[in-house]
Amino acid sequence: MGRRSRKPLPEINSGSMADIAFLLLIFFLVTTTMDQEYGLPRELPRKVEEKIPPPPVKERNVLLVYVNRNNELLVNNEYGDVKSLKERVKTFIPNKTNRTDWPEKEAPEEYGSDGNTFVFQKSKGIVALQNDRLTMYKTYIEVQDILTQAFNELRNELAKEKYGKSYDELSELADKGQTDDIQEDASAKIEAIQKAIPMAISEAEPIKSK
Amino acid sequence: MSKFRKKSGSGDAPGINTASLPDIVFMLLFFFMVATRMREVTLQVKVTKPGATQSVKIASEDRNKVISVYVGKPTKANLYGSAARMQLNDVIADLKDVGPFVLEEMNRLPEADRKKAFVSIKADEEISTGIITDIKEALRDVDALKIQYGTRKTASLY
């Protein structure tokens, strides 16, 4: 017994260790992905029984955007294009010149909480987006993107005016602010801005085939 | 010059020491294990998401609340035809399957997450919007109202 224990243990051959590690590495390379997921979040309208008529919406409050099967745009019954749509929405929704054929405004109301309040007249404007069944999805998303951009820019302007920081900057602060206080403060401001300018994009019911 | 003369005897270059190779490979392995996540499905439809500048990133803590619906042209056209179809989990499905699928996935989530769960429609940019409209109607039927159009983040459209 004693004699045996004095013998040095044979070394384990680790030459194939690299092979094993490579095998595992290749397995993980194949079965996993690294891509980030992005998207445009939307809220669908709740389904209501057909007997109940939908609440009446005044015609002046609605900007109807229709995308046809040739990927052309009809904005309030006139030809439009994607490039000018953003400016159109940005002037239509706030209706700063108080045109009578553009959206009404609600009575001035106070938005925000503790010390961060501001008084603002919320617009009643809605963008109604309709599409043909044969509209290309790419165009549809392009229009959705432009509409989102228009609303985000309106929010940026309001946030800059009321809080001195754009909406994007506030979002960043709410996400990566240095202290919890900064983050909470930014989140409260974002909520107020979102309430004052809701993302009023209505994906209207599909038009029944004519 | 004699300094550079090869040693007489073996003319072979000395072997490279590969003792640290496993360490390097393991390091790479750990990096990939930490930085990536498993593929959820094997795509059976071709999906190239449309680009959008206002795309919002899905936070990593919200990943488990995503119910994905893929839409695109099947890669196996001889099996499923060349018209755009939708894929739920790992199978090509029909419109009538969307509602039950979403409800089932919703039930699988912990109760606290169900309100925050949303359906992500990941569709190919080349398809026509009709099938998307159908899916949205099916989602409204089962009261799954929070949706998201899967997009690629692009810097600018023009």
State pLDDT tens for residues A33-53.
877 889 999 888 888 777 777
- Determine contact: A203 vs chain B, CB below 8 A: yes
- Determine contact: A12 vs chain B, CB below 8 A: no
DSSP letters, A54-115, are PPP--GGGEEEEEE-TTS-EEETTEEE-HHHHHHHHHHHTT-TT--TTS--BPPPEEESSTT
Q: Which amino acid is at A7?
A: K
> For residues A75 and A87, is the Cβ–Cβ distance under 8 A?
no
- Determine contact: A209 vs chain B, CB below 8 A: no
3-state DSSP helix/strand/coil percent for chain B, to nearest 5?
35, 25, 40
Q: Which residues, in sequence order, are CB contacts of B146 under 8 Å at separation 6+?
A: A41, A43, A44, B116, B117, B118, B119
Closest CA to A199 of A91, A85, A123, A96: A123
Count Cβ atoms below 10 Å from residue A25 Cβ, excluding itself. Answer: 19
State pLDDT tens for residues B121-136.
999 999 999 999 999 9
Domains of chain B listed by start with CATH number: 45-153 (3.30.420.270)
pLDDT at residue B97 in the model:
92
Mean pLDDT of the residues in chain B? 86
H or E segment to which residue A65 belongs: strand A62-67
Contact across the interface for A40 and B55, Cβ inside 8 Å? yes
The DSSP secondary-structure symbol of A125 reads: -
With a cut of 60, say whether residue B21 has pLDDT above it. Answer: yes
- Phi and psi at B109, nearest 5°, equal -75, 150
> For residues B135 and B144, is the Cβ–Cβ distance under 8 A?
no
> For residues A135 and A72, is the Cβ–Cβ distance under 8 A?
no
- Phi and psi at A17, nearest 5°, equal -55, -45
Contact across the interface for B32 and A136, Cβ inside 8 Å? no
Mean of the pLDDT values across residues B14-24? 84
Mean pLDDT of the residues in chain A? 84
Mean of the pLDDT values across residues A174-201? 85
Contact across the interface for B58 and A39, Cβ inside 8 Å? yes
User: Which residues 44-73 on chain B approach chain A with CB closer than 8 angstroms?
Assistant: 50-58, 63, 66
> For residues B144 and A33, is the Cβ–Cβ distance under 8 A?
no
Q: Which residues of A touch B129 (CB under 8 A)?
A: 67, 131-137, 140
Beta strands at A32-33 and B37-38: parallel, antiparallel or unpaired = antiparallel
A136 band by pLDDT with thresholds 50, 70 and 90: very high
pLDDT at residue B3 in the model:
62
The ipTM estimated for the assembled molecules is 0.80
State pLDDT tens for residues A55-94.
777 788 888 898 888 888 888 888 888 888 988 888 888 8
Contact across the interface for A40 and B132, Cβ inside 8 Å? no
> For residues A22 and B27, is the Cβ–Cβ distance under 8 A?
no
Contact across the interface for B25 and A18, Cβ inside 8 Å? yes
pLDDT at residue B151 in the model:
92
A209 band by pLDDT with thresholds 50, 70 and 90: very low
Question: Domain locations in chain A?
Answer: 59-203
pLDDT at residue A137 in the model:
92
Partners of residue A41 on adjacent β-strands = B148
What percent of chain A clears pLDDT 90, i.e. is strictly above it?
13
User: Tokens representing B16?
Assistant: 């490279």
pLDDT at residue A210 in the model:
40
The DSSP secondary-structure symbol of A177 reads: -
Count Cβ atoms below 10 Å from residue B70 Cβ, excluding itself. Answer: 23
Contact across the interface for B147 and A41, Cβ inside 8 Å? yes
With a cut of 80, say whether residue A115 has pLDDT above it. Answer: no
A23 band by pLDDT with thresholds 50, 70 and 90: very high
Closest CA to B143 of A43, A152, A143, A193: A43
With a cut of 70, say whether residue B8 has pLDDT above it. Answer: no
- Phi and psi at B79, nearest 5°, equal -90, -40
B90 band by pLDDT with thresholds 50, 70 and 90: confident
Contact across the interface for B145 and A45, Cβ inside 8 Å? yes
Angle at A115 between CA A114 and CA A120, to 5 degrees: 95
Confidence (pTM)? 0.81
pLDDT at residue B35 in the model:
85
Write a three-state SS string for B18-38: CCCHHHHHHHHHHHHHHHCEE
- Phi and psi at A166, nearest 5°, equal -75, 165
Of A34, A40, A137, the CB nearest to B128: A137
Instruction: Report the residue of chain B nearest A131, measured CA to CA.
Output: B129
Instruction: Report the residue of chain A nearest B145, measured CA to CA.
Output: A44
In a mutagenesis test of the B interface, which of A37, A199, A208 is the best target, namely the one with the most B β-carbons within 10 Å? A37
User: Which residues 18-57 on chain A approach chain B with CB closer than 8 angstroms?
Assistant: 18, 20-22, 24-25, 28-29, 31-34, 36-47
What three-state secondary structure class fits B4?
helix
Top-confidence residue, B12 or B69: B69
- Determine contact: A13 vs chain B, CB below 8 A: no
Least confident range of A69-73, B14-18, B64-68:
B14-18
The Cα–Cα gap between B25 and B36 comes to 16
pLDDT at residue B147 in the model:
93
B7 band by pLDDT with thresholds 50, 70 and 90: low
Instruction: Report the residue of chain B nearest A171, measured CA to CA.
Output: B56
